[in-house]
Structure formats: C-alpha cells, structure tokens
Structure 1
C-alpha cells in the first residue's frame, strides 16, 4: 500500500486547505482594520480616548 498513486489528491487537499486558511486569515485581518477605523471615528466623534476619559 503506497500513497504514491494518491499523491495528487493528497497535494490538492493540502493546497485547498492552505488557500481556505489563508483566505480566512486575510478576511479577519481586513475586518479588523475596518473595525479599528470605525472605532477611531466613533471615538473622535465622542471626544474620548481609548480609556474612556475625555481628552
């Protein structure tokens, strides 16, 4: 029982997994950047810093 005949499907499975995980990480990082910008705009509008104290 050698895995050589199935090496194509094994490599394809790893490649698909890598693409999906990479896409998930990229989506999380982009969402984090967007949320951070939104939070900064809201904090600026409220006139407060991160600690919740007036500037």
Structure 2
C-alpha cells in the first residue's frame, strides 16, 4: 500500500488523532474516579442525593 508523497502527513495525522483520543479516554476515566470519590465523601459526611430518597421521604 503506497500513500504517495503525503505519507508522512497521513501517518502523523492518524498518530495525533490516536494520541488525542487516548488522552480523552484517560482524562474521562480519571475524572470519573474523582467524581465517585467526591460522592463517597459527601455521602459519608451525611449528605445524600435526592435521587436516593423515597417518595414518602419528600
């Protein structure tokens, strides 16, 4: 498979997109872990989510 004279541009572009997508996946997973930890901290301090309440508690 020959990419012609633009091979370096094509390969660099695909590599850059792959790196950005990988970076976004890592960022989202780290943020998810941080948000879960913050929710655990809030719930352990006595603050509960409204969605966790029963209709009779409102």
TM range, smaller chain: 0.7 to 0.9
Q: What SS class does the counterpart of residue 24 from structure 2 fall into? A: helix
1:40 match: 40
- Structure 1, unpaired ranges of 5+: none
* Greater RCO, CA 8 A, separation 6+: 1
1:9 match: 9
Cα distance, 1:38–1:10 mapped onto 2, change above 3 Å: same
Q: Indicate the larger mover: 2-11 or 27-36.
A: 2-11
TM-score by length of 1: 0.77
After TM superposition, which residue ranges in structure 1, 4 or more long, deviate above 4 angstroms?
Answer: none
2:29 match: 29
Q: What SS class does the counterpart of residue 45 from structure 2 fall into? A: helix
